[in-house]
Structure 1
Amino acid sequence: MSDYYDLFLAVDLRSDLPESALHELRWLLGQAEAPPVLESADWESWGHPWQVFAGDSASHSFDGADTSRLVRSVDKPSLDGGAPWALTVRTCVHDDEFGVVMEVVEWLLRQAITQGWVGFLRYSGSDEVQHVVRHQSGFDVVDVREVRKQIRVSWS
């Protein structure tokens, strides 16, 4: 049995995203043809590039669907007055592909304006969940610790 990661990202990207980055992002989401040059990862070390965030199907390892959505956030202008790009991604990542996908996440978060929590990782081999937290100098993957006070809601 293979191990997988459940990756969820919710992030706003710069309103002035360069056309080359936007084209590559759309390709990664499965919404465009491949650009002539890919900057998001060292694809040669992985054999060939693939659309890591293409979704719209049931996840084969986790409940729910793998999906991705990129829209303009016209109701929430950025400090420069432009409309940032709002991106949400939920995808299942095979353990063997984790390294290249995290390279793509790093490239993506370099384009982001969101600070703080931007997503989570869940590992199929355990109940482990980690937060993805973006800051000015990069991002961290932070272990989630059990808290003493828990909210419990029972359905009747």
Structure 2
Amino acid sequence: MSLHFEVVFTCFLRDDTPDTVLASLRWHLGLADERPAELDAEEHAYPLLTPDPDSRLPGGDFAALRRVQASADRCTWGLFSRTYWLDDEIGSLVTILDLLAPHVEEPGHGGHFREEYDVKPTVFTFKSGTYEPLIL
């Protein structure tokens, strides 16, 4: 029997995040139909963050990427994704973490994953253009 996980990404990306990264995120989030040519088809075999309309998560899956006014003279890209993953896919977290980490606006919390019946999540932490090692 497979385990199932709630996977949440929640962070701000710098306004100067390259268009190629934003295009990749849009594809992973299901906001664009075609995989960007810059993405390695083996590493990015299918969109990882696309909401499933039939998700078993309470409240369902959700995905958003939007440019927000962070202050009078600064914008950021707000990312939020909450999706339901099978245990076979959980190793693909690093694909998204590697995509995000160099562009995160502020170090710290970036999301979490948890087995659907667990109380405590495993938190993603971004720092200095990378992320803290995960124990999967």
The TM-score bracket by the shorter chain reads: 0.7 to 0.9
Matches within 5 A, 1:1-156: 1-32=1-32, 33-38=34-39, 43-44=41-42, 49-55=45-51, 57-60=53-56, 62-74=57-69, 76-77=70-71, 81-124=73-116, 126-136=118-128, 138-140=130-132
Tell me how many residue pairs correspond in the alignment. 134
Question: Structure 1 length as normaliser, TM-score?
Answer: 0.73
Quote the RMSD (CA, aligned, Å): 2.5
Runs of 4+ in 1 over 4 A off after TM superposition: none
Unmatched segments (≥5 aa) in structure 1:
144-156
Q: Where is the strand percentage greater, Structure 1 or Structure 2?
A: 2
Higher relative contact order (CA 8 A, sep 6+): 2
- Ranges in structure 2 where 5+ consecutive residues have no aligned partner: none
The alignment-based identity, stated in percent, is 27
Larger Rg: 1
In structure 2, C-alpha distance between the alignment counterparts of 1:30 and 1:90, rounded to whole Å:
13
What's the CA shift string for 1:45-69, capped at 9, x where partnerless?
Answer: 6xx7111111162423x32211111
